[in-house]
Amino acid sequence: MSSQKTAIVTGASGLLGRAVYKEFEKSYKVVGTGLTRAQPPLVKLDLLDHEAVASLIEQEQPSVVIHCAAERRPDVSEKQQEYTEKLNVKATRKLAEAAAKSASKPLVIYISTDYVFDGQNAPYEVDDKTNPTNWYGHTKLNGELAILESPNTIALRIPVLYGAGENSESSINTLVDAVWNKAGKKDVQMDHWAARFPTNVEDVAHVLKDLAQKYSTEESRKDQPRVFQFSADQKYTKYEICQIFGDILGLPIDHLIAQDTVEQTPGVIRPRDCKLSTKTLQDAGISVDHVDFKQWWQRRLTANK
């Protein structure tokens, strides 16, 4: 067991981080970090404490670091811009710098977003022009640029996620609550303008492990792409997702009002269609298979009835 490789997963208490921890645990000794929700075996780590981050990397000598932790909520990011910049950009840069100084020379994989694009020219290849429309996308793009300044780093762009967990952890999962409507709300605005490509966290975890294993050595990383993209290919608006959930649960959604123009959509403006091409992953021989959205939710929601 002493020869087993170590993986550090930041944000391991979150929706994506938990799936990544579970997947990597099959092949690695995994050190998961968290902050407010960090319970053993997770290590409590403030990513803004750069000395603590460097100390953990030096202590563990990982072969790979999966950087899931981020402020991922566009509306919160807009209101807390300074904090979001520190977490999504500065902490990312310091993490990559600390990893570069480590004797183990780990591969650092940064989780980025489809929101680095403006949604006007989908589908997007990895080298297409970036143009984020909100602060969240802006900081995640700057996080990409920050991490790629250091060697042995790559970025994986992904769209909105869903998976097993509390509904509040995902803007897709939370639509289940909107359909149940236990509070009896009426005339609730629901976005029917922006296209989304909801992607399961377990599928993302598989891709991350495949990347970690393919680029496990410094030699294998030479002259290879630095940015990859993964996405499911099933396209829905939030309103259409609510229709799917309503059909599965046998619930009406007449309390939801479809908002089909950008002016009507509540909250921070999201790009209209950021469909990500997965060509770079496929060219690298990495599977881009994904679960069927409707089937996954059919199983989950009927199991919980």
pLDDT tens for each residue of 111-141:
999 999 999 999 999 999 999 999 999 999 9
CB 34 within 8 Å of CB 17: yes
Whole-number pLDDT of residue 266: 63
CATH of the domain at 225: 3.40.50.720
Structure token digits, residue 237: 């608006």
* Domain span including residue 37: 6-165+197-234+274-292
- For residue 262, being part of any structural domain is answered with no
Please measure the distance between the N-terminal and C-terminal CA atoms of the chain and give it in whole angstroms.
Answer: 42
Question: How many C-beta neighbours within 10 Å does residue 185 have?
Answer: 10
Q: Which amino acid is at 16?
A: L
Alpha carbons 280 and 212: distance in angstroms, whole number: 15
Q: What angle do the packed helices 238-249 and 293-303 form, to 10 degrees?
A: 40
Q: Tell whether omega for the bond before 132 is within 30 degrees of 0, i.e. cis.
A: no
- For residue 87, being part of any structural domain is answered with yes
**Number of separate domains in the chain:** 1
Structure token digits, residue 62: 């990982």
- For residue 240, being part of any structural domain is answered with no
- For residue 121, being part of any structural domain is answered with yes
Whole-number pLDDT of residue 56: 98
- For residue 154, being part of any structural domain is answered with yes
Whole-number pLDDT of residue 2: 53
| Low-confidence residues in the chain, pLDDT < 70 | 1-2, 263-266, 304-305
- For residue 253, being part of any structural domain is answered with no
Whole-number pLDDT of residue 59: 98
Instruction: Say how far residue 132 (Cα) sits from the centre of its chain.
Output: 16
Alpha carbons 238 and 189: distance in angstroms, whole number: 10
β-bridge partners, 43 = 33
- For residue 191, being part of any structural domain is answered with no
Question: In terms of residues, how long is the chain?
Answer: 305
- For residue 25, being part of any structural domain is answered with yes
CB 61 within 8 Å of CB 6: yes
Residue 184 neighbours by CB under 8 Å, 6+ apart:
none
Q: What angle do the packed helices 50-60 and 91-101 form, to 10 degrees?
A: 30
Question: How many C-beta neighbours within 10 Å does residue 271 have?
Answer: 21
- Residue 176, SS3? helix
